[in-house]
């Protein structure tokens, strides 16, 4: 090897090692344990995606409680105790009235419509504004998405809205306020705390996630009645929060890489949920004695009426909630021209199903 060739090789080696040492490490806490299918693996999948495409940043995944408890992730990310968090804004409903509008809206948009509002209308603008206006030092990126969830596991059958009165139930986001209107006492428990609460009778019922996720937590051992549809979460959005100082220290390439990895994660997360839940429902019934129940029209109307009351009250007391709610409602009104014409009507008695 000539001296010139050797010098070139050494320079290339130093360049590679220099690039590697310059790669920024982000410690990311997740709201969901990595052993939870779909829900927990989504944050792991994001980390795998960003680490496979970026030479600028590297993310390290931590389960809930390893760095901070799940319900403390927003504050920890804002103050820099952690660099990033994978979560859903519905967890912050007690801090900001509008938080649930960017997570899951009762009787609201399904995934396609929700994505349209978030990415191509005003949703993401308001999403970031909510954190900014409330003094949180975070950058928010849409990073995961679910189809509807099951709307609850109950120890006893619910035959009318009156049967809900007096129940203690784990419930999430804006849907919890609906249940409170109907006489349910609600609490927001992290995933790992739900089964013990059901087992010792601290709660009578719970909603958490999709059938496969819920099955992995064993709810069917105690609560045999699984209710559908997920009126409280027709779609669920998941966020990546990054400490804003860390975000602004990144160059445009690194920022773009993170956003692209999140966009890929959206598609992956949604498709996995659509593919893996019907086998889980079948297994729940055939192997675990679960009864799949559907809310009747009276019950759904009671839920919706209560939700409209909640939305009106929140809009009256919170100007930002009203602004976002009005914007979403305006978008949905216009969107109907498309959805009412392009999609098959529901219910449609398809020949394939006859």
Q: Please check whether residues 184 and 42 belong to one and the same domain.
A: no
pLDDT category at 330 given cuts 50, 70, 90 is very high
Cβ 1 vs Cβ 9: under 8 Å: yes
Q: Please check whether residues 224 and 294 belong to one and the same domain.
A: yes
Going from the C-alpha of 303 to that of each of 13, 151, 206, 231, 306, the distances in angstroms are 64, 11, 16, 8, 5
Whichever domain contains 311, its CATH number is: 3.40.190.10
C-alpha 152/C-alpha 107 separation (Å) is 15
pLDDT category at 349 given cuts 50, 70, 90 is low
> 313: domain range?
150-230+288-336
C-alpha 12/C-alpha 2 separation (Å) is 15
pLDDT category at 190 given cuts 50, 70, 90 is confident
Q: Please check whether residues 48 and 30 belong to one and the same domain.
A: yes
Q: Please check whether residues 67 and 119 belong to one and the same domain.
A: yes
Q: Please check whether residues 32 and 180 belong to one and the same domain.
A: no
Residue 344 lies in a domain: no
CA-based nearest residue to 173, from 240, 112, 110, 232: 232
Q: Please check whether residues 141 and 38 belong to one and the same domain.
A: yes
Residue 6 lies in a domain: no
pLDDT of residue 7: 43
For residue 20, pLDDT beyond 90: no
Number of structural domains the chain divides into: 2
Q: Please check whether residues 119 and 42 belong to one and the same domain.
A: yes
Question: Exposure of 284 by Cβ count < 10 A (0-12 exposed, 13-18 middle, 19+ buried)?
Answer: buried
Q: Please check whether residues 301 and 191 belong to one and the same domain.
A: yes
Q: Please check whether residues 48 and 165 belong to one and the same domain.
A: no
Residue 255 lies in a domain: yes
Q: Tell me the average pLDDT across 265-290.
A: 97
Residue 37 lies in a domain: yes
pLDDT category at 71 given cuts 50, 70, 90 is very high
DSSP 155: S
Given phi > 0 = left and psi -120 to 50 = alpha, else beta, which region is 296? beta
pLDDT category at 353 given cuts 50, 70, 90 is low
299 is in an annotated binding site: no
Q: Please check whether residues 34 and 58 belong to one and the same domain.
A: yes
Share of the chain above pLDDT 70, in %: 92
Q: Tell me the average pLDDT across 27-36.
A: 96
pLDDT of residue 348: 65
Q: Tell me the average pLDDT across 51-73.
A: 96
Q: Please check whether residues 47 and 101 belong to one and the same domain.
A: yes
Residue 283 lies in a domain: no
Residue 353 lies in a domain: no
Whichever domain contains 59, its CATH number is: 3.40.190.170
Q: Please check whether residues 69 and 159 belong to one and the same domain.
A: no
149 is in an annotated binding site: yes
Instruction: Return the minimum-mean-pLDDT range out of 12-26, 52-66, 95-109, 223-237.
Output: 12-26
pLDDT category at 242 given cuts 50, 70, 90 is very high
208 is in an annotated binding site: yes
Which pTM was predicted? Answer: 0.90
């Amino acid at each position: 090897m000539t001296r010139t060739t050797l010098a070139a090789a050494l320079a290339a080696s130093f360049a590679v090692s220099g690039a590697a040492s310059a790669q920024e490490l982000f410690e990311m806490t997740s709201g969901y344990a990595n052993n939870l299918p779909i829900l927990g693996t989504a944050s792991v999948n994001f980390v795998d995606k960003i680490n496979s495409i970026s030479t600028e940043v590297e993310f390290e995944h931590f389960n809930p409680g390893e760095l901070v408890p799940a319900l403390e992730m927003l504050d920890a990310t804002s103050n820099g105790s952690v660099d990033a968090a994978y979560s859903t804004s519905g967890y912050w409903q007690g801090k900001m009235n509008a938080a649930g509008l960017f997570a899951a809206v009762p009787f609201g948009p399904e995934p396609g419509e929700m994505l349209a509002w978030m990415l191509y209308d005003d949703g993401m603008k308001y999403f970031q504004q909510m954190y900014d206006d409330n003094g949180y030092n975070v950058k928010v990126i849409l990073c995961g998405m679910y189809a509807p969830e099951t709307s609850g596991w109950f120890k006893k059958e619910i035959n009318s809205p009156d049967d809900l009165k007096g129940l203690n139930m784990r419930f999430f986001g804006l849907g919890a306020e609906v249940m409170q209107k109907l006489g349910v006492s609600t609490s927001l428990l992290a995933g790992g705390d739900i089964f013990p609460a059901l087992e010792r009778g601290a709660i009578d019922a719970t909603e958490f996630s999709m059938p496969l996720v819920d099955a992995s937590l064993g709810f069917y051992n105690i609560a045999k009645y699984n209710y559908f549809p997920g009126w409280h979460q027709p779609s669920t959005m998941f966020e990546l929060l990054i400490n804003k100082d860390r975000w602004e220290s990144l160059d445009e390439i690194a920022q773009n890489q993170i956003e692209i990895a999140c966009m890929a994660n959206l598609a992956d997360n949604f498709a996995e949920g659509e593919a893996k839940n019907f086998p889980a429902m079948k297994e729940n019934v055939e192997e675990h004695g679960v009864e799949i129940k559907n809310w009747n029209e009276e019950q759904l109307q009671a839920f919706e009426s209560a939700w409209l009351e909640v939305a009106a009250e929140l809009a009256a007391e919170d100007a930002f909630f009203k602004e976002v709610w009005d914007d979403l409602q305006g978008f949905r009104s216009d969107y109907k021209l498309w959805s009412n014409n392009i999609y098959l009507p529901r219910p449609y008695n398809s020949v394939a199903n006859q």
